[in-house]
Structure 1
Amino acid sequence: MLQAFRRVLVTLMVFLCVAPLVKAAETGEENSDSPIDVMGKVVDHHYLALPGYELQLPRIMLVDGEWHFYASTHAAVESGEFVEQDHVLVPADGSDITLDMSITAHLMYVWFGVLLTLWLTIAMARRYRRGTGRETEPRGWFQNLFEIVFVFVQDEIAKQNISEDKYRKFVPYLFAVFVAITFMNLFGLLPWGVTATADITVTAILAFITFIITQWNGSRDHWEHVFWFPGVPPLMRVILTPIEIIGLFTKPFALAVRLFANMLSGKVMIICILGLIFIFADLFGAVAGVGVSLFSVPLTAALYILKAFVGILQAYIFTLLSAVFIGMAVEEHEHHEEGIEAHA
């Protein structure tokens, strides 16, 4: 029984590791002479990759004040109003696209992560409303796991970094962003899956939401420390105020870049290591490719486990830093400005 389970596990791991690369290799052969197209696998697409099929996504574009709606890129080209140049859709008359609101694969996986988070929280809320987990013990591994994650976010992230009287207000957001980012990070481990957080646009929007929540809830004391610096000599304020204003924007910038860079690098690393199989096969023949696979496949399997851990870790770091920034903004301080200025 154990031996059979091991065989199934190995087969599944090979499938998970190799299948996405086979698709990437096919794309690379179509687009260039390279045996594998690394960037073609990482960049965003206007189709949703499924096993053996590509589901084309709608194209929505504003050109010269007029909206254009098409079911797919192919439909836009067939209309005669657009042409495809280097896999980019451009108007046939040479005008520029003012605004492109087309649906992409990364956007679809963002929606998947958000919808799963909503479904999870609503389903658990209904259970607690019926008394399961509130009047009785939580039932089932799913509810127990949910409660562990929620309590962890509440007690170890929110409560530890936001003041005692204000942290509960931010628990729903912190929990939602932790779960949603975890889902988006782990989607990339699925065959033909996409890591939405490997897109700087996605992480920038997430960081922007944290920025808005932080500044909207900033206390009077927070803004005094940005523009006035109580207790600091006037000349020093001229130097410190610009630094603090810049700091308001560098914090969300760091949030966005950290999450994006970590998730993108992990995806590229897996593709490159598995890509050695196709590169060696192209240069030295099929036997060399098979030989390299004895090294690449086990290493990629280990990287998959590591990437799953990193995906959860990066969601935790993003949530933790969001809590830290919010806590700093809502915190109240005691000042002794008059005494300090008197000594000055």
Structure 2
Amino acid sequence: MIRAFRRLLVTLLLFLFIAPITHASGDDEKSSDDSPIDVVGKVVDHHELAVLGMHLPLPRIMLVEGEWYFYSSTESAVGSGEFVKKDGSLVPAGDAQITLDMSITSHLMYVWFGLILTLWLTIAMGRRYKKGIGRKTEPQGWFQNFFEIVFEFVRDDIAKTNIPDKKYKKFVPYLFTVFVSISFMNLFGLLPWGATATADVTVTAVLAAFTFFITQWNGSKDHWEHVFWFPGVPGWMRIILTPIEIIGLFTKPFALAVRLFANMLSGKIMIICILGLIFIFADIFGNIAGIGMSLFAVPLTVALYVLKAFVGILQAYIFTLLSAVFIGMAAEEHAHEEGVEAHA
């Protein structure tokens, strides 16, 4: 009992130190009514990278009416006199409009971190296999064993079971990359100063777009026949079914993007709101009330962190599984049976 209480006390103290880091932010993240916590400001994209309580500015790259502007940070852009801050956004000082904003953001940085870690992991393991470790001998170390478990899981349980046997091997690298990189992006959001890149719909939309183009590019002749022609179906029914099938091509990646985005965003907001209760109670009723609320909020946040880690891996699996299902449906050679029942 005493040991369990000590563990709870250590966890409480740890999160009481972490919570101010999560709460701390720049002046641009504070709401206009000086609210003790700005939930929206925590989940939106930023032009700075928060690391251990420090905020590192990121480059601003913008195309304004045919002319490119490069700045090391938002402050340097404002200091140049060419741009001003308006409602938290950077806009040209004159009447010009930004044609294209290619600035580096925190979400983009975490996308790169996930892809770089995935690339490093794959290259490191590839070098081991070239040396014969794991190929001529047994895998060495927990890291290589864990890599084999993940790779074989994606290959055998996701790719092979959903894509035709003759075609599944060429999609394994893509599916493995998607699973591992999304897992990294999701888990980065568990860091007190980290950002969940997949809680940004533009990130999930790009990931879903890759699946969409790979699916359509590898679609078989039968796939396209069942989209535009429907063998064995009466001509008058094609007028109805063809638009439905075309819309279906786009609703699948749309569902992929929205599902991943909504699940990761909701988890992030939930954790921020529960931790935010500490600051709200401290702001309204005083520091003693804030400490009292922390006795409830911190253990609940610990449980949510564990749940969010599980959901992060689960959502990476669901995205990868559905990508394999969509690719398999498009790459499959259908039997040419007559009638509407065959199409159904």
- TM class, shorter-length: over 0.9
| CA shift for structure 1 position 274 | 0.7
Q: TM-score, normalised by structure 2?
A: 0.94
Amino acid at match of 1:142: F
In the superposition, relative to structure 1, how do residues 340 and 91 fare at CA in structure 2: closer, same or farther (>3 Å)?
closer
Query: Any conservation in 2 of the 1:82–1:91 contact (CA below 8 Å)?
Result: yes
**Residue 249 of structure 2 corresponds to residue 258 of structure 1:** no
Aligned to 1:204: 205
CA distance in 1, matches of 2:17, 2:176: 29
Q: What SS is found at the alignment partner of 1:67?
A: strand
| CA shift for structure 1 position 16 | 7.8
Aligned to 1:285: 286
Aligned to 2:161: 160
| CA shift for structure 1 position 231 | 1.1
Q: What SS is found at the alignment partner of 1:291?
A: helix
Identity fraction in percent:
72
Query: Any conservation in 2 of the 1:28–1:35 contact (CA below 8 Å)?
Result: no
Instruction: Report the count of equivalent residues.
Output: 339
Flag structure 2 segments of 5+ consecutive residues without an equivalent: none
Aligned to 1:313: 314
CA shift digits 1:169-189 (9 cap, x unpaired)? 100000000000000000000
CA distance in 2, matches of 1:194, 1:98: 27
In the superposition, relative to structure 1, how do residues 340 and 201 fare at CA in structure 2: closer, same or farther (>3 Å)?
closer
Aligned to 1:59: 60
In the superposition, relative to structure 1, how do residues 327 and 104 fare at CA in structure 2: closer, same or farther (>3 Å)?
same
CA distance in 1, matches of 2:17, 2:278: 15
Amino acid at match of 1:286: N
Q: What SS is found at the alignment partner of 1:232?
A: coil
Within-5 A mapping of 1:69-84: 69-84=70-85
CA shift digits 1:108-131 (9 cap, x unpaired)? 000000000000000000000100
Query: Any conservation in 2 of the 1:25–1:37 contact (CA below 8 Å)?
Result: no
| CA shift for structure 1 position 85 | 1.1
| CA shift for structure 1 position 288 | 1.1
CA distance in 2, matches of 1:224, 1:12: 63
Aligned to 1:243: 244
In the superposition, relative to structure 1, how do residues 196 and 87 fare at CA in structure 2: closer, same or farther (>3 Å)?
same
Pairwise CA RMSD of aligned residues? Answer: 2.1
In the superposition, relative to structure 1, how do residues 143 and 12 fare at CA in structure 2: closer, same or farther (>3 Å)?
farther
| CA shift for structure 1 position 52 | 3.0
Query: Any conservation in 1 of the 2:21–2:52 contact (CA below 8 Å)?
Result: no
Return structure 1 stretches of 4+ with deviation > 6 angstroms. 2-5
Within-5 A mapping of 1:1-344: 6=7, 10=11, 14=15, 18-24=19-25, 29=30, 31-337=32-338
Q: What SS is found at the alignment partner of 1:49?
A: strand
